[in-house]
Chain A
Amino acid sequence: MFRRVLGKTLGFVGYTIQYGCIAHCAFEYIGEFVVCSGPSMEPTIINHDVVFSERMSRHLCKIQKGDIVIAKSPYDPNMNICKRVIGLEGDKVCTSSPSDLFKTHTYVPKGHVWLEGDNLRNSTDSRSYGPIPYALIRGRVCLKSLAAVRGVLGHSFLRSVIFFTFHAILPLALTLTDGA
């Protein structure tokens, strides 16, 4: 009797470990859901939006200009930031604000990326802390929840399906830097 209980417990523990490891691999190598807060990516991503960020591009080094990425903050590794990639290594980026008379440019160093939020007036990004190392990037945002029924946890099955339907975020053409 005792041996049967022990056997069942060990089996349960074994299954938990196995599924825990599969979950870790899924979150680490496939993708995860992220809740974004803050106004720095409006109007693309609004405060409290749920997005899905996929990890494969980051591991295969296929992040491109124009992608929205989730990265670890360079000043606090426990905080994550969500910004758009404006420049990859070797690119020339404009560091002056549009109101400056003289435009200053800088080159993104090797192994780094330049991030900026879409809401340029209300975003702390590479314009204040400089380019960040590529390895701080965690994933690329590819899907965003439909905002229309956000926050409505309906009773019907159909409403919950609409709530969890995502639409793809395509990398937008860069119109953010001044054309000069």
Chain B
Amino acid sequence: MVLIMLIATLYSPLSSFLMAQQTTAGRRYLRAFVSGFFVAVPVTVTVLDRFAYVARVEGASMQPFFNPEGGLKSDIVLLNRWSVRNYQVQRGDIVSIVSPKNPQQKIIKRVIGLEGDFIRTLGYKNQYVRVPDGHFWIEGDHHGHSLDSNSFGPVSVGLLHGRASHIIWPPSRWQQIKPSLPPNRGPLDTKEEEG
């Protein structure tokens, strides 16, 4: 994010410099820089906060969907922040949330259950959990290597940060991300009998 802001700050005074007139070159550049700065920075910050965010996925908790080779090559995803402004998510979406354990870290996982769903957990303190109101249940695709709701329980919807909509790097993995629940990981239907 700092890189994007740096590029925006350097680009805008260049363009406003071309439109400045009279006075000495030094004063012209300073004026252009200041006016460009006050335009570029709020616009960039607003776009990153409200519309779209770009982030690199690190770690192995969402393999094989993200970072299938692991190691040095990490996927870069586009997070759509406008679509979650009303906190609407579907089961199977990949979302990024602020970690409940560390408020300065964001984690990216898949939504398995919404409020009111019954979930059969993998390694949580209770085997069956009903997701409370205003919460949802998230899991990483790589069970066992993932810090998710199986460790810290249902997560409040207020922590939602954005929905991953596209993988944008590496170019060989360009794709739109569609919501899909992994097999056998979904809310329990109250009519079915689970063995």
Contacts and interface: CB of A to CB of B under 8 A. Distances in A.
B101 interface: yes
Contacts of B132: 75
A76 B46 contact: no
Interface string A121-143: 00000000000111110000000
Interface in B27-86: 38-39, 41-43, 45-46, 49-50, 86
B100 A135 contact: yes
B5 interface: no
B135 to A, nearest CB: 8
Interface string A80-114: 00000000000000000000000000000111100
B87 A22 contact: no
Contacts of A75: 132-135, 156
Contacts of B38: 22
Contacts of A132: 156
Interface stretch (B17-25, B120-128, B157-165, B177-185): B157-165
Contact of B46 (A21, A111, A135): A21
| Residue picked from B86, B87, B101, B103, most chain A C-beta under 10 Å | B103
Nearest to A18: B39
B129 interface: no
A61 B103 contact: yes
A18 B36 CA distance: 11
A73 B141 CA distance: 29
B99 A77 contact: no
Interface of A: 17-18, 20-22, 24-25, 28-29, 61, 72-78, 109-112, 132-136
